[in-house]
Amino acid sequence: MTTAPEPGRMDTSNAIKGRSLLDDARRRLAQNRAASVAAAILVLLVFIALIGPFLVPFGYDQVNKSDVLSAPFTHGHLLGADDLGRDLLARTLVGLRVSIAVGVVASLVALLIGVAYGAVAGYVGGRVDELMMRLVDVLYALPFIFFVIVLMVTFGRNLILLFLAIGAVEWLTMARIVRGQTLSLKRKEFIEAARAAGLSTPAILLRHIAPNLVGPVIVYVTLTIPTVILAESFLSFLGLGVQEPLTSLGTLVSEGANQMELAPWTLVVPAVAMAVLLSAFNFLGDGLRDAIDPKDR
Amino acid sequence: MGRISTLSRAVAVGVCAGILAVTAGCHKAGGRAPCPSGKLCFEATNDADPATLDPPRTSLTIEANVLSDLLIGLTDRDAAGRLSPGMAQSWSASSDGIVWTFKLRKALWSDGVPVTADDFVYTFRRLEDPKTASDYAYLFYLIKGAEAVNSGRAPLDSLGVRALDPHTVQITLTHPAPYFPEMLTHNVVLPVPRHVVERYGDSWVQPGRFVANGPYLLKSWTLGDRIVLEKNPLFYEAQKVCFDRISYYPAPDPVSAERRFKAGDFDLDIDFLARRARYLRRPDQIPKAVHTPPELADTYMTFNTHFAPFSDQRVRVALSMSTDRDFITKALTAAGEKPTYGFVPAGTANYDAMKAPVWASWPFPRRLAEARKLLSAAGYGPTHPLRFELKYPNGIDPAVAAAMQADWRSIGVFASLVAEEPQIFYQDLPVRDFQAAIAIWVADYDDALTFLNLLQSGTGGQNYGDYNNPEYDALLAQADHEPDAGKRAAILERAEALAMASANIVPLFGRVSRDLVDPRITGWVDNITAFHPKRYLCRSDAAARRAAG
């Protein structure tokens, strides 16, 4: 939304290009050093999670019987090996890949459900809103861990289900945030104008409400991803996560914690990777919030 | 007998973590429970809370642990796990081994009512009563009429258990069974007090109502916190019981339980993590507290033999050959487990464990090459690789399955691993909803038959691989009617060799108990039955502590 210059002052020869809110946000983000560094680290992490496993001479599921619990820098293992002699670097990289994938996919699931649900509830309002939000309240009361355990026990463990299960729980907060935003948006003049122009409700939701929600939603998604990664780690720690020989950072930390006196590197390596990943997401999320919503500063 | 899984433990941690976040309501870690002055208290971990303490409804070792302090059966075990008189002071069998007579000692229930033969008749009828729905009713089908009673085809009083007089119980069997007194130590036939059960119904097991005939009374039971037992002054050997109070703490996380043991919170921690044995045995750690005697239990692989690929014996043998049991027991289950090639574990009474096959001593690459030959003979090779799904219950170290998977991959066999919650796993297997699986069988009594019966063609659900060999069945039947222990063992050994040659099941390794026992505790004797009633235990400084208190 740019304000049109006053007609009398219009100078066509030297037009000042207007700055959109998005440009402002981008500039503020660039000025926030922590957020920029976090963004750079994230790009780097995603890159090495994708490429890294191909560069390590060991497969993540390759058992080396003579290298059981070998220390870092021995037997060709840069970061040591676990109690099956599997290379810890290769496993950490694959774990990183799985954790990022779970984080992103589950957050997208939460995003889709949450935005659709919250926007409809907020825009339609009245009894429908009342009913939809009470349902959210009820689901909030459902213990997350029981929900996931019931899903896993009934349908067996698989990665897709894990994505869906976590996403299906994380959308609740998203729905609340979106509903609140929609409530304030729907009284705005441009919505009334659209309605007066005869646009249908779905069209208004899609074309006018949704784009104006982008700010808070992006912020919330960046903060959801680390929550989801932690949730997956928690489930893996409890033995409900991914199946052997595939691994995730949470599974690696859990295994490492059982061996930490004998082989501290099996705990330290994945724990550091997880800490860096989570901090990067959180710093970036904070930065985005500050950049997009200047009122919050 | 079932074993509680790591998942169930994990669920408890999750719940606890969830509650902790809201109310900090979980039992605080750290600190030994205070003991009343002048008393001696014993603090022990249990893997989880028992589902019930009603004997016929129990099926897990966590329940047997607590019950062994509360109730004493017809026969019992001493500190070393050997058969000893319990409520029955003596017993004898008729010359054909069919009719057993048990002479009861004079003993009282903890409410002062005498324990009579009638209580035992009631106990056995309750076990076989279809209304009780005991998972273990089948174990005593060798009692005359039991199967008919349990399936509802005959009235309860047709069961072959009679009270000849208030102190004599007579049990009639369908065939001779020299191991019958062994079986009577099982927790599902621990006596229940008829007068209490009839008054309160199934809720008789609640603290305050529970009436015991053993060394301890059920004082309190707080779910998720602890079960407290107190000395029973009316127990027939009460003067020999050392500890005044026993507490059982459900310890969902084995590693934190182990750390609390080291801090002195517990005198006994059961089922510590096998992989931690190597660390705990280090001289600067607690080597004297680590107890890992072999246990009568097997970890084995079983196959769905109705369908390809496992209808082919060569495929099963190839997988057995290419499983590196030595690596698994050395690197992963490092508590002292031993590779096994026969189903009946070493140490079983009156039995010689099967010897390893010739290929077991070959270098591993040669075994892999041989396995590859068998597979290609069965039609599997680079162009047509063998793929299947291997199921295992949570509680088996996933790294064991991963190690097997890696070796198989090296000969072109691709297994995908599926870990399941034990309740689900042990439902899938009886309906044959699996291709290959790793299962555990813990002996119900100290006799080879508790294992070999699983492969009998009439066993049904628990004969997961549907082994059906008339010759095998005939050998087991012949053993049932062989009074001489030595000849009987020889017949059973022939049967076992027959079954193992078919590779219908593939034994992997024998299990060990994994207990941490405070070195000051006296009276603890490692034994193969993993049976450790607390009444045999004491503390080396007990006298001094009592005097000080």
B440 beta partners:
B299
**CA-wise closest residue to B298 among B168, B444, B503:** B444
Residue B92 vs residue B4, higher pLDDT = B92
Q: pLDDT tens across A40-56, in order?
A: 999 999 999 999 888 88
Residue A8 has pLDDT above 80, yes or no: no
Give the minimum alpha-carbon distance from B12 to chain A in angstroms, rounded to a whole number.
Answer: 10
- Residue B292's pLDDT is 93
- Residue B12's pLDDT is 41
Q: How confident is the model at residue B140 (pLDDT cuts 50, 70, 90)?
A: very high
3-state class (DSSP) for residue B398: helix
In angstroms, the CA B256 to CA B272 distance is 10
- Residue A240's pLDDT is 72
B278 touches chain A (CB under 8 A): yes
Query: Cβ of B406 and A156 within 8 Å?
Result: no
Residue B338 vs residue A218, higher pLDDT = B338
Tally the C-alpha atoms within 13 A of residue A28's C-alpha that lie toward its C-beta.
20
ipTM score over 0.90, yes or no: no
Interfacial residues of A (vs B; Cβ cutoff 8 Å): 61-63, 65, 68, 83-85, 143, 145, 149, 152-153, 156-157, 234, 238-240, 243-245, 257-259, 261-262
Tally the C-alpha atoms within 13 A of residue B153's C-alpha that lie toward its C-beta.
5
B76: tokens are 């019992």
Phi-psi region of B440 (alpha: psi -120 to 50; beta: other; left: phi over 0): beta
Q: How confident is the model at residue A294 (pLDDT cuts 50, 70, 90)?
A: low
Q: CA–CA distance from B284 to each of A1, A83, B25, B305 (Å)?
A: 71, 22, 35, 50
Average of per-residue pLDDT values in chain A: 83
Q: pLDDT tens across A218-261, in order?
A: 888 888 888 888 888 777 766 677 777 888 888 898 888 888 88
- Residue A239's pLDDT is 65
Contacts of A261 in chain B (CB under 8 A): 279
Query: Cβ of A239 and B418 within 8 Å?
Result: no
Percent over 70 (pLDDT), chain A? 90
Name the residue in chain B with its Cα closest to that of A148.
B11
Residue B28 has pLDDT above 70, yes or no: no
Q: pLDDT tens across A183-214, in order?
A: 888 888 888 898 899 888 888 888 888 778 87
In three-state form (DSSP H/G/I as H, E/B as E, the rest C), the secondary structure along B417-442 is: EEEECHHHHHHHCCCCCCCEEEEEEE
Query: Cβ of B332 and A62 within 8 Å?
Result: no
- For A243, the closest of B15, B324, B418 (CB atoms) is B418
Mean pLDDT over residues B276-286, rounded?
90
B255 touches chain A (CB under 8 A): yes
For chain B, which domains are there? 1-49+205-289+516-549 (3.40.190.10), 294-512 (3.10.105.10)
Percent over 90 (pLDDT), chain B? 64
Query: Cβ of B279 and A239 within 8 Å?
Result: no
Residue B18 has pLDDT above 80, yes or no: no
Contacts of B276 in chain A (CB under 8 A): 258
Q: pLDDT tens across B419-434, in order?
A: 877 767 877 888 899 9
Q: How confident is the model at residue B546 (pLDDT cuts 50, 70, 90)?
A: low
Percent over 90 (pLDDT), chain A? 19
Cis before residue A216, ω within 30 degrees of 0? no
Query: Cβ of B420 and A156 within 8 Å?
Result: yes
Exposure string for A19-55, b = 16+ CB within 10 A, e = fewer: eeeeeebeebbeebeebeebbebbeebeeebeebbee
Mean pLDDT over residues B130-158, rounded?
91
Model pTM score: 0.78
Residue B13 has pLDDT above 70, yes or no: no
Q: Quick one: which H or E segment has residue B29?
A: none
Mean pLDDT over residues B440-467, rounded?
87
Name the residue in chain A with its Cα closest to that of B422.
A153
B405 touches chain A (CB under 8 A): yes
In angstroms, the CA B407 to CA B388 distance is 14
